[in-house]
């Protein structure tokens, strides 16, 4: 069998890697949707057309690293944050999913990417792409998804570490599948470029006076600048400022106790999220008692998981708002 011609080439440019066309440039197609363009790091497969395009300057993305378990949940994944670009292409007719997939795989490897995970429909099962692109993992913001299908799909997750060059880490999620009722393939390319988000855009006061005002007027205040590693209850060092302000408030207002209530988004199993939210509340209480001298008798940890959202869990922004710890006056 003749090996398909590799049509996607690697071109290194200082700190940037371009997986470009044979000519070395990204060329738009007349039928691309308005406002779309190839990602600057990864070009399209020759003669492909962009059918979906979405960019968030700073977002969250769950990178699949395993098959689905018996409960149809990802057995392994990594949540990454940074600039998130999601592009769908309709490939030219007559090109197999294998040929397109091998072109991308080869180009990524040549560019220095490590393949973290890969699989096919036969290995991962037909429901895998539904879970990934239409359900709760990384749902696409469209009512119908004509490109990513369950037929003959091939998937990979890849990583390029450029931290030594001061350029962060790039993650790529690629899925090539046979479009339903068509002789052409669909290509989903998701790219996450890690890095710091713009700060100082919103002035959020987390100080003792604000806490006192909200507790007095509403009986509850939400603390969203308490940080935890994904899926864990250990408090990160970035939470110190918030803990200091909470402790100041508690030392100034000694007349009442507080419920410390953990909340999660709806990703994952309900029982797991209920347990995680309570463990995080306990971790906050323990930090206030151990590090700031607050009486443990005044603090009562509880967890309600995803049962009391303040925003929709259908969007990344909503899920971020729902992951929080609240102080509630009994």
Tokens of 55: 């960019």
Question: 3-state class of 133 per DSSP?
Answer: helix
CA distance 26 to 35: 15
The reported pLDDT for the residue numbered 87 is 92
Supply the pLDDT for residue 27. 58
Angle at 109 between CA 108 and CA 111, to 5 degrees: 65
pLDDT at 205: 46
The reported pTM is 0.54
DSSP symbols for 57-78:
EEEEEEEE-S-B-TTSSBSSEE
Q: Which residues contact 329 (CB under 8 A, 6 or more apart)?
A: 215, 219, 220, 256, 258, 259
CA distance 155 to 176: 7
Supply 179's token pair.
């479009």
Identify the structural domains of the chain with CATH numbers, from first to last.
9-193 (no CATH), 208-328 (3.30.1330.60)
Question: Quick one: pLDDT at residue 28?
Answer: 64
| Per-residue pLDDT in tens (0 to 9) along the chain, 330 residues | 434 433 434 333 333 344 443 333 455 677 898 889 999 888 889 889 998 898 988 888 888 888 877 777 777 888 888 899 999 999 888 888 899 999 999 999 988 899 999 988 878 877 777 777 766 656 676 554 455 656 678 999 999 987 665 567 899 999 998 866 667 788 999 999 987 555 454 444 446 777 888 888 899 998 867 888 778 898 988 888 889 889 988 998 888 899 999 999 998 889 999 999 999 999 999 999 999 999 999 999 999 999 999 889 888 778 888 899 999 998
Give me the DSSP letters along 201-256.
Answer: SS----SHHHHHHHHHHHSEEEE----B-TT--PBPGGGHHHHHHHHHHHHH--S-
């Amino acid at each position: 069998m003749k090996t398909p011609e590799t049509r996607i080439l690697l071109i290194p440019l200082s700190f940037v890697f371009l997986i470009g066309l044979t000519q070395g440039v990204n060329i738009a197609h007349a039928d691309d949707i308005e406002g779309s363009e190839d990602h600057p790091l990864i070009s399209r497969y020759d003669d492909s057309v962009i059918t979906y395009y979405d960019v968030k300057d700073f977002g969250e993305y769950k990178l699949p690293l395993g098959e689905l378990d018996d409960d149809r949940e990802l057995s392994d994944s990594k949540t990454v944050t940074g600039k998130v670009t999601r592009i769908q292409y309709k490939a030219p007719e007559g090109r197999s999913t294998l040929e397109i997939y091998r072109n991308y795989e080869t180009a990524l490897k040549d560019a220095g990417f490590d393949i973290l995970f890969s699989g096919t429909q036969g290995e991962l099962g037909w429901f895998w792409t539904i879970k990934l692109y239409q359900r709760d993992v990384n749902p696409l913001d469209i009512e119908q998804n004509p490109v990513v299908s369950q037929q003959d799909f091939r998937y990979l997750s890849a990583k390029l570490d450029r931290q030594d060059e001061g350029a962060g880490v790039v993650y790529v999620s690629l899925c090539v599948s046979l479009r339903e009722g068509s002789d052409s393939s669909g290509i989903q390319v998701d790219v996450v470029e890690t890095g710091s988000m713009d700060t100082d855009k919103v002035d959020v006061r987390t100080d003792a006076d604000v806490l006192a005002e909200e507790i007095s007027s509403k009986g509850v205040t939400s603390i969203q600048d308490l940080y935890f590693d994904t899926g864990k209850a250990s408090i990160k060092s970035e939470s110190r400022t918030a803990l200091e302000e909470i402790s100041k408030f508690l030392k100034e207002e000694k007349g009442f106790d507080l419920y410390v209530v953990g909340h999660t988004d709806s990703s994952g199993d309900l029982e797991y999220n209920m347990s995680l939210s309570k463990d995080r509340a306990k971790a906050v209480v323990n930090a206030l008692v151990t590090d700031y001298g607050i009486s443990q008798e005044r603090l009562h940890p509880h967890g309600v998981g995803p049962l009391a959202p303040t925003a929709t869990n259908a969007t990344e922004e909503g899920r971020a708002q729902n992951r929080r710890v609240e102080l509630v006056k009994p």
